[in-house]
Amino acid sequence: MADLTHGLSTAELTELTNRSIAAKETAYCPYSKFRVGCAILCNDGTWITGGNVENASYPVGICAERTALVKAISEGKRGFRALGVATDVKPPSSPCGMCRQFIREFADLNMPIFMYDIDGGYEVMTLGQLLPMSFGPDSLPPPSEMAKLSKE
Ligand SMILES: [Zn+2]
C-alpha cells in the first residue's frame, strides 16, 4: 500500500496542490488583489476548481471555496475527499468562517483541507478541526419532528 497523506496518494496530493495554485489564475479580484484558488477532489475522482469572485458592491463577492463547491454541487457532485485552498501569502490563509460552514453542509468532518502558502508549502487540518462543535444537516430534526416541536 502506497503512503497516504490524509487519504490521498502522493500523485493525488501533487494534483491537489497544482490545481489549487493554478486556480488562483481564475480569481476575479480587482478590488482586493487577493487571489484565492480552490480545488476539490470529488469521490468520483473528478476535480472541480474555483477562484474568488469579487463585486463592485463588496459584500456580494464570493470566496474561492464556495465558488468551487457551488460548481461541484450544481454539477451533481456529492461526496468529497479533499479540498485545497491557495493564496499568495505566507503563512497560508485558512477558509473564512462562512466557507467553513458552507463546506460543512456537504463534506464529512474528517475531510482534509490543505491550505497552501505562496511557495506551495501547506498546512492541513480536517473540517472538524477548523469548525469544532459545528452545526450541520444532521443537527436539524426531521421536518415532521420540527412540526411537533412548534406545537408544544
Ligand atoms: Zn470564505
Query: What is the spatial distance between Cα 97 and Cα 112, in angstroms, rounded to a whole number?
Result: 16
C-alpha cell at 99: 466557507
For the chain, the maximum distance between any two Cα atoms, rounded to a whole number of angstroms, is 57
Side chain identity, residue 32: S
Strand ranges (DSSP E) for 43-126?
Answer: 47-51, 80-87, 112-116, 122-126
Q: In the predicted model, what is the mean pLDDT of residues 46-53?
A: 98
CA of 144 to the centre of ligand 1 (A): 33
In the predicted model, what is the mean pLDDT of residues 130-135? Answer: 98
- pLDDT tens, residue by residue, 13-36: 999 999 999 999 999 999 999 999
- With beta carbons less than 8 A apart as the criterion, state whether 114 and 81 touch: no
Catalytic site residues? 65
Whether the CB-CB separation of 102 and 127 falls below 8 Å is answered with no
Domain 10-151 is of which CATH architecture?
Answer: 3-Layer(aba) Sandwich (3.40)
pTM, full prediction: 0.94
Tell me which residues have their CB within 5 A of the ion that is ligand 1. Answer: 63, 96, 99
pLDDT for the residue numbered 138: 92
Could you tell me the residue ranges of all domains in the chain? 10-151
